[in-house]
Structure formats: structure tokens, C-alpha cells
Amino acid sequence: MIHRLSVSLIAVAAAAAAGAAQAEDIAQAQSQWFTDAQAVIQATLAKTPNTNRAKNVILFIADGNGVASNYMNRLWAGQQAGGMGDEYIQPQEAFPELALVKTYNINAQTPDSAPTAGAMNTGVKQRFNLINLGENAITDDCGTVAGNELTLFSELMTEAGKSVGAVTTARLTHATPAAVYAKTAHRNWEDEVPEGCTAQKDIATQLIDAMEAGTVDIALGGGARYFIPKGTATPNGGKGHRPDAVNLVERAQAAGIQYASDKASLDAATNDKPILGMWTDSHVSYEADRPETEPSLADMTKKALEVLGGNDKGFYLEVEAGRVDHANHDTNAKRAMIDGKAFADAIALADEMTNDEDTLIIVTADHEHAIAMNGYCGRGTPIDGLCMDVANEGIKHADKPVLAADGKPYTVVGYLNGTSSVLIKQEDGSYTAPEGRPEITQEQAQDLDYNQQVLIPKDSETHSGVDVALYAKGPWAHLFDGTIEQNYIFHVMDYAVNNGQ
Amino acid sequence: MLTRRAFCLAACAVSLATPSLSQAADGPIKLRDLYNKDRSFSDLAESLKGRDVIVEGFMAPPLKADAAFFVLTKMPLAVCPFCEPDTEWPQDILAIYTKRVVDVIPFNVLITVRGILELGPYTDPDTGFWSMARLGNARYERF
């Protein structure tokens, strides 16, 4: 399928008819570029809005995967498939509906992942670093929690008799999955709240509360240390971190929730009881580093759909590729793009396992990063490597890299800030580049651990406020169009499951 | 700009049989090559145990001034992740015990380190730093 155009069908039909009549007179009419585009016109004309009631909603979020990151992922996947990369279509890019999303928070031009996920799960924008509290709540102030707790999409779905799941490659208590079930004055209160704070519990406890209450039926990801007391070993062989001596894994198991600590135990878990699965003590491994004992994002998504699909009334599932964000923070573009491919694989699987007639699938990001692409590179330039020159003849890039004014090559992918600054900290504390930029080879640039050159030195590369894309298919997906506010996503999900009632 | 003071690379390189750190025949080892995905040591690491090896990486901001010790990381770290309890440690690190007091190289400059590879648990009596892999009697230089 193709993206929806914002002109009326009647107007398009008229233009296409006129175009067809004139095609014989157009010199390029036999070009494949021309005929492919003509086919898109016909496919667009054939589109009909899906006004079924959505039984199921799947919200895919790749953390920090804005338009530039998504472009990088597309070229990586396409080049891994043997093509130039540009022409490749990621599974979500074949969805019929598209919008651009404005991601800012109430008080932040540059958003963080807590209020952005909260906006998608509640229908209202929120304040920086807090999750699912109203606009009068103040971040880090427990005293402003009471009375400001928002109603969650997961709670509405539970009331409607549907099942709910959260799947992530980050910690289950991290911002994006937490927004499915938690309400907190600070995203960092993962396993403890400040002394004297009684208005809310820590995020890990809120997850187990939600699973016991039946609001969350399956939760898969990382972060076991926040469920295990200090001084106690985690099921993964590490150390627990909870200061309150409560073992939440034992509590969950006592409540009849199945616990899985690796892929084998996840596979062995039955689909008729809730499942809590955590493969790591902190975030799940990057896809590039993932041992076979950890399920992939697609593996987790598959299990979640098998469990949730058992409910005849339907389900809500949020799936997060949490580590595109982390690799971008490290200015390590290669791990980001590899995790981007793992995200696309999970989307393709979910699309295959569900029916467009009754399942609304939304694919988006919570925010973009300070990432951008350099030019001018020829076709087929490895997206994980140096920018290679445009060849004047043929299609594929020339054999030589493009050189900057300093006579040195540079990578296609760049970041504006981060640890890998070309400015080097000197003994007097100043940052300068007396030897200029490092001169890098293609082999160095394509190394898994390579960090892109950046300008501004920072401890960690930052998010940016640039729009992110949203792709959708299924019931009422056509309500996504144009440039939207991030909190609007909740409203389409809610409208779709209620069929506008 | 910092000047290197402690390491005798020029003197060590007088013999053609002694390669400079960045010009070993097989090139420097990457930190990730020492580990399997399940965090156990790789066959390469086991085969090089007790031998003189060259590893590339970045000098993490030192835990302690004027020590003959630093941590090598695979990516640049602007702050010392080992200095506070409860902070997340990066994967693929190597404890480096140097021949001389460390002359700090900025955290985002790629370096190579040459030393004797030691494997197995060890707690540093001075810093309390616990490591599973180390280079002993090490020298280092900018890549």
C-alpha cells in the first residue's frame, strides 16, 4: 500500500484521467520511475477507509527513532538486503496512513521519553520527566501527585474487558513501558520514592500492583534488579537493587503470575496466565550483542500476541524498541540501526499475526535525537560508513570518499553533540582540536563500536525536538493525517476501539 | 595539549623487532573480542592469557589521581562510571595497571595499550576496584 495523499479522491481521479490521456505525448512515459508513480496513483484511488471497530490496538514505539533515525534504519536494512538502501521499504513504511508528530512536553521544547509516552497513553501532554500526572503536578514533587493522577488507556481497556501488555528492550520500569501502567512524579523512581512520599509507590511496585489487579497481563523486557531486594541475587545472577527488602518477583509468583528469566522459560510459559519476563538486570542487550538466551523484540512480541490474542474481547499492546535511543545517546549509529531493523522485524511479525479488519497498528517514535546526515554521497554509500562520492556515470557511488575542507573523509551519519566530540578536553579544562578531526578509515567507521564525530562535547548525546513520523493501518487509521500533537494518538486509539461512541 | 611522559615508546622502538603499539602485525585487539555474548571470556581471550597483547579503546576518567591504574572502555565516557555506587557500568571494560603513574589522555582520544593479559577476579587493594580482566605492566599511546 502507499501513503495517503491529502487531496480529495475526486481531484486525484480527475488529474489521473488527464494524465493518462497525455501519457503518449510524454517522452519519459515508459520510464519505470514514471510507471511506478502512475501505479501509486491507482493504488491511492483504490483506498477505502476502514471504519470497523478496533478489537485490538498495537502501539509500536522506537525510542528516539525520529525521521532521521528512521531514514538511517531504512538504508541499513536495505543494504543488508543487498540493495542501495534508498529504495527499500520498511514494513511500517508500507502502511497506508502517515502523520508527522509534534513531540514537545508542556514545559520542554526538547522532550524526554516519560511525558511523551504518557501523552500517548493518556491523551494529554505532560511535564518533563514525569509520567501520567496532570498539568498541575510538578516533576520530582511527591506532594503534587494526589489529585493529579490521569486515567490510562490500559485502565480503559481493562474496563472494556480487554487484555493489556507491555514489551520493551529497555527496563520494564523505564519511561516508555512505565507509561502503560504507572503514575509517578519522577521517571527515575523505579524502585524507591523519596523519604516521606506516600502519595505514590515506586514504578516496579506499580507494575506488580497492575498485574495483580489484572490491568497488565504480560510484561516483558529487562530491569530485574528493581524487583529484587539489595543483598539478594536476581534470577539473572546479578544483584538486586530495591532498598525496601521487598521481593516483587516472589510476590508476583505468589499471585499466580508466571516468571520467565530467559527465552527458554518464556517459551515454556503457558498462555492462560499472566507472564512477567525479565532477561537482564538492567536494559535488554542491544540486538548486535544479544545472546541466544535472550528473546529478540520479535520473539517477545510474538509471545505477547499469543497470550493477549486469547482474549475474545481484544487487547492493547505497547511494544518499545528502547535501545535505538541508547545507541543514539552514545553516538553509536551502528547499534542504533541494527536495533532499528529488529524493531522493523517485530512490526512485520505483528502485522502478519493480526488482521487489518480488527487491529489498529500504530508505529511511531517518542522523540528524535540530535542526529543528521552528511552529504553529498552517491547511491549505495554504506549508511554505516564514510560518505562516498557521487559517480557521474552509472548509479553506484564512486570509489573515493568525499573529503571535507580539511582534506579528511567523514561519515554519512552525524550527531551534533555527545562524548565523541572532535574537541578534546585539555589540561586546563578547555576544549580544543589542535590536531584537527581524527582521520578515519572505512574500516574504522564501519566498526560496531564506532562513535560518530560530533561537534559539541557533552556527557551524553541529546534528544531533539524535531517531529517524528507515525505510520498506521487498520480501523480508523485514516484519522492520522497531517501534522498532529503527540497526545492525539491516544484519541485515535480510543475512538477506534469505541467506534466513535 | 597533554604531553606523554611515562612511556618509553621511542626507546622501546629502537629495535625493529619491537613494534610500536599501533603497528603490531595483527593490529590491536578490540575490547569486545575478549568476551562472548554471554559475558564469558572468548576463546581468543583464553588463548592470550598471560601473553603480551595490544588492545585499543579509550581511557575512562581516572578513579584516582596519580595512580598507576585506569579503566579502558570501548567507547568514550565523559564521566567516571566507576566512582559512584549504583551507576551503570559499561560493558567490555579492561582494568589497566601501568608501569608508571598514569599521564591522563583525554577520554575521547582513541588509544592503544600494551600489557600482559590477566583473567580472573581481582580486587584492587588501593581502589577496591573489582575486575575480571586486566592488562599488567602496561604502556599506552594515542592510536
Tens digit of pLDDT for each residue in A411-468? 999 999 999 999 998 888 899 999 899 999 999 999 999 999 999 999 999 999 999 9
How many Å lie between the alpha carbon of A81 and the closest alpha carbon of chain B?
Answer: 25
B21 has a pLDDT exceeding 60: no
Please give the CATH topology (third level) of the domain spanning B18-142.
OB fold (Dihydrolipoamide Acetyltransferase, E2P) (2.40.50)
Give dist(CA B76, CA A475) in Å, integer.
47
**Which of A424, A458, A459 comes nearest B106 by C-beta?**
A424
Nearest to B88 among A282, A330, A425 (CB): A282
Contact: A424, B86; criterion CB under 8 Å: no
Is the pLDDT at A6 greater than 70? The verdict is no
Residues in chain B within 8 Å Cβ distance of A420: 75-76, 108
Residue A357 has pLDDT above 90, yes or no: yes
Look up residue A265 and give its DSSP letter: H
**Close Cβ partners of B110 (under 8 Å, ≥ 6 residues apart):** A438, B56, B57, B58, B142, B143
Q: Is residue A113 annotated as part of the catalytic site, yes or no?
A: yes
Q: Which fold has domain A56-370+463-498?
A: Alkaline Phosphatase, subunit A (3.40.720)
Please state, in angstroms and rounded to a whole number, the distance separating the CA atoms of residues A315 and A263: 23
DSSP state letter for A472? E
DSSP B29: E
Q: What b/e sequence results for B108-130 when a residue is b if at least 16 CB atoms lie within 10 Å of its CB, and e otherwise?
A: bbbbbbbbbbbbeeeebeebebe
- Which of A269, A274, A273, A326 shows the shortest CA–CA distance to A299? A269
pLDDT of B17 > 70? The answer is: no
Contact B108 A434 (CB under 8 A): no
In this prediction, residue A13 carries a pLDDT of 45
% of chain A surpassing 70 pLDDT: 95
Instruction: Please give the pLDDT value at position A115.
Output: 98
pLDDT of residue B87: 64
pLDDT of A334 > 90? The answer is: yes
Would the CB atoms of A449 and B1 count as touching at under 8 Å?
no
Q: Do A291 and B76 touch (CB under 8 A)?
A: no
pLDDT for position A14: 44
Distance (Å, whole) CA A326 – CA A63: 8
Contact B75 A458 (CB under 8 A): no
At A58, give phi and psi (nearest 5°). Answer: -120, 120
CA of A150 to nearest chain B CA: how many angstroms apart?
31
Residue A218, SS3? strand
* C-alpha distance from residue B8 to each of A294, B27, B29, B43, B65 (Å): 45, 20, 21, 31, 21
Residue A421: list chain B partners with CB under 8 A. 108
> Looking at the predicted structure, is the pLDDT value of residue A176 above 70?
yes
DSSP annotation string for A38-65: HHHHHHHHT-----SPPSEEEEEEETT-
Residue A405 pLDDT > 70: yes
Chain A residues in contact with B111 (beta carbon < 8 A): none
Residues of chain A neighbouring B109 (CB-CB closer than 8 A): 424
Chain A residues in contact with B93 by the CB 8 A cut-off are none
pLDDT given for residue B64 in this prediction: 78
Residues from chain B that touch A426, judged by Cβ atoms under 8 A, are 1-2, 106
Nearest to A290 among B36, B37, B75 (CB): B37
Q: H or E element: which one contains B47?
A: helix B43-48
Which residue of chain A comes nearest to B104, CA vs CA? A427
Strand stretches in B27-110, DSSP E: 29-30, 52-59, 69-73, 93-98
- Name the grid cell of A100: 508527522
Q: What are the extents of the domains in chain A?
A: 56-370+463-498, 371-461
**CB A274, CB A207: distance < 8 Å:** no
Note the pLDDT tens digit of each residue in B83-118.
766 666 777 889 999 999 999 999 999 999 999 999
Which candidate in B3, B107, B108 is best for mutational testing of the A interface (most A CBs within 10 A)?
B108
pLDDT tens-digit readout, B28-45: 999 999 999 988 899 999
Is residue A3 over pLDDT 60? Answer: no
pLDDT at residue A259 greater than cutoff 50: yes
Interface list for A 319-378 with B (CB within 8 A) = 330, 332
pLDDT tens digits for A201-252?
999 999 999 999 999 999 999 999 999 999 999 999 899 999 999 999 999 9
CB contact under 8 A, B37 and A427: no
Task: State residue A489's pLDDT score.
Answer: 98
Q: What number is the average pLDDT over the span A174-183?
A: 98
pLDDT band at B23 (very low <50, low <70, confident <90, very high): very low
Q: Closest Cα of chain B to A426: distance in Å?
A: 6
Nearest to A434 among B1, B30, B36 (CB): B1
Ranges A272-276, A341-345, B131-135: which has the least confidence: B131-135
Question: One of A69, A113, A154, A261 is an active-site residue; which one?
Answer: A113
CB B134 within 8 A of CB B97: yes
Mean pLDDT taken over chain A: 95
The mean per-residue pLDDT over the stretch A125-152 comes to 98
Q: Are strands A218-222 and A454-457 parallel, antiparallel or unpaired?
A: unpaired
Of B38, B75, B79, the CB nearest to A449: B75
Q: Mind spelling out the 3-state secondary structure of A313-377?
A: CCEEEEEEECHHHHHHHCCCHHHHHHHHHHHHHHHHHHHHHCCCCCEEEEEECCCEECEEECCCC
Domain boundaries along the sequence of chain B? 18-142
Quote ipTM for the complex: 0.80
Please say whether the beta carbons of A164 and A180 come within 8 A.
yes
pLDDT at site A15: 47
Q: How many CA atoms does the CB half-sphere of A64 hold within 13 Å?
A: 26
Hey, what long-range contacts does B127-131 have (CB within 8 A, 24 or more apart)?
A: B127/B63, B127/B64, B127/B67, B127/B69, B129/B63, B129/B69, B129/B71, B129/B82, B129/B95, B131/B93, B131/B94, B131/B95
Greater model confidence, A318 or B124: A318
CB–CB of A415/A371 below 8 Å? yes
CA–CA distances in Å: residue A336 to residues A116, A156, A288: 20, 34, 9
More reliable by pLDDT, B25 or B95:
B95
Residues A298/A345, Cβ–Cβ less than 8 Å = yes
Taking CA atoms, B72 is separated from A288, A381, B32, B92, B95, in Å, by: 21, 32, 12, 9, 6
Separation of alpha carbons A424 and A440, rounded Å? 16
